[in-house]
Amino acid sequence: MPLINPGLGIIFWMTLTFAIVLFILGKYAWPAILKGLKEREESIQEALDAAKKTQEDMKLLKLDNEKLLKEAKEERNTILREARKAKENIIAEAKEKASSETSKIVESAKERIEIEKQAALIDIKNTIATFSIEIAEKVLKEELKDPKNQKEYVNRLLKETNLN
Partner 1 sequence: MERKLIVFQSVVFFIFFIAFSFGINSLHAEEHHDNSGRKKNAEKEEMKIGDMIIEHITDSYEWHIMTVGEHNFTINLPVIIYNQGNWIIFSSKRFEDGHAEYRGFYVSEKKGINQGKIVLKNAEGEEIRPQLDISITKTVFAIMINALLVILVFLSVAKAYSRRKGEAPKGLQSLLEPIILFIRDDVAKSSIGSKHFEKYLPYLLSLFFFIFFSNIIGIIPFFPGGANVTGNIAVTGVMAAFTFVITTVSGNKHYWVDIFNTQGIPWWLKAPIPLMPIVEIMGVFTKPIVLMIRLFANMSAGHTVILGFVSLIFIFGKISLGLGYGVSVVSVGFSIFLDLLELLVAFIQAYVFTLLSALYFGMAIAEPEHH
Counting contacts by CB under 8 A, is residue 51 touching partner 1?
A: no
Q: Does 43 bind partner 1 (CB under 8 A)?
A: yes
- For position 25 contacting partner 1 by CB under 8 A, the verdict is yes
Report the alpha-carbon distance of residue 79 to residue 109 in Å, rounded: 43
Cβ-Cβ contacts under 8 Å for 149 (sequence gap 6 or more): 143
Q: How far apart are CA 46 and CA 104, in angstroms?
A: 82
The set of residues, in sequence order, having a beta carbon less than 8 Å from that of 144 and lying 6+ positions away, is 150, 153
Give yes or no for residue 26 binding partner 1 (CB under 8 A). yes
Query: Interface residues for partner 1 in 70-99 (CB under 8 A)?
Result: none
Which one of 10-18, 72-80, 126-134, 140-148 is the stretch in contact with partner 1 (CB under 8 A)? 10-18
Residues forming contacts to partner 1 in the complex (CB under 8 A) are 1-15, 17-18, 20-22, 24-26, 28-37, 39-40, 43
